[in-house]
Amino acid sequence: MDTEESQDQEVLTLVPPEPPTTEDEFIENGDFVKGQFDYIKNNSEKRMLQTAYQAINILELWNYMKEDPGGNGFVFSGDIRVRKIYNKIEELGYQGHSGSSFGCTLRDMQIIAQKGEKEYRKIYLLGLKRKGIAIINP
């Protein structure tokens, strides 16, 4: 092998991998930054998740989020930690929660606490795919 061929091979190994081209590849292998929820297109939903994620980080309540809140769910549990999360979310700039959206957001955080955000992202995107909603631009 001559020097020119060797240099060509080195250059080929430096080429970045192709981005995912199918929805399945995107779901399995797409990159994301933890806590940013960039894979969520709805800005209101994204903001709900971002502020909840930040609040739980700041309050160091990820272990609590792994627990089962009991038959009343998080919202009606009466646990002071839920109130602290809610207050911190508002402090972080999101004041638009209804009881329902707050409960759903905490369940999303519970999935992240139990399975990790990579698995949460996969579950979220598969749900969109099943509904026929495009998750990548063609």
pLDDT in tens, 32-67: 788 999 888 899 999 999 999 999 999 999 999 999
Kindly list the distances between the CA atom of residue 30 and the CA atoms of 23, 91, 119, in Å, as whole numbers in the listed order.
9, 32, 12
pLDDT > 70? residue 15: no
Question: Residue 9: its pLDDT value, please?
Answer: 52
Asked whether residue 136 is domain-assigned, the answer is no
User: Which of 36, 54, 25 shows the shortest CA–CA distance to 136?
Assistant: 25
Asked whether residue 53 is domain-assigned, the answer is yes
Give the count of domains, the chain. 1
Longest Cα–Cα distance of the chain, Å, equals 74
Asked whether residue 97 is domain-assigned, the answer is yes
Task: Say what the alpha-carbon torsion angle 130, 131, 135, 138 is, to the nearest 10 degrees.
Answer: 100
Task: Say what the alpha-carbon torsion angle 19, 23, 24, 29 is, to the nearest 10 degrees.
Answer: 30
Asked whether residue 1 is domain-assigned, the answer is no
Asked whether residue 24 is domain-assigned, the answer is no
Asked whether residue 120 is domain-assigned, the answer is yes
Q: For residue 110, give its domain range.
A: 29-130
Task: Give the SS3 label for residue 2.
Answer: coil
Asked whether residue 17 is domain-assigned, the answer is no
Read off the pLDDT band of 138 (50, 70, 90). very low
Asked whether residue 55 is domain-assigned, the answer is yes
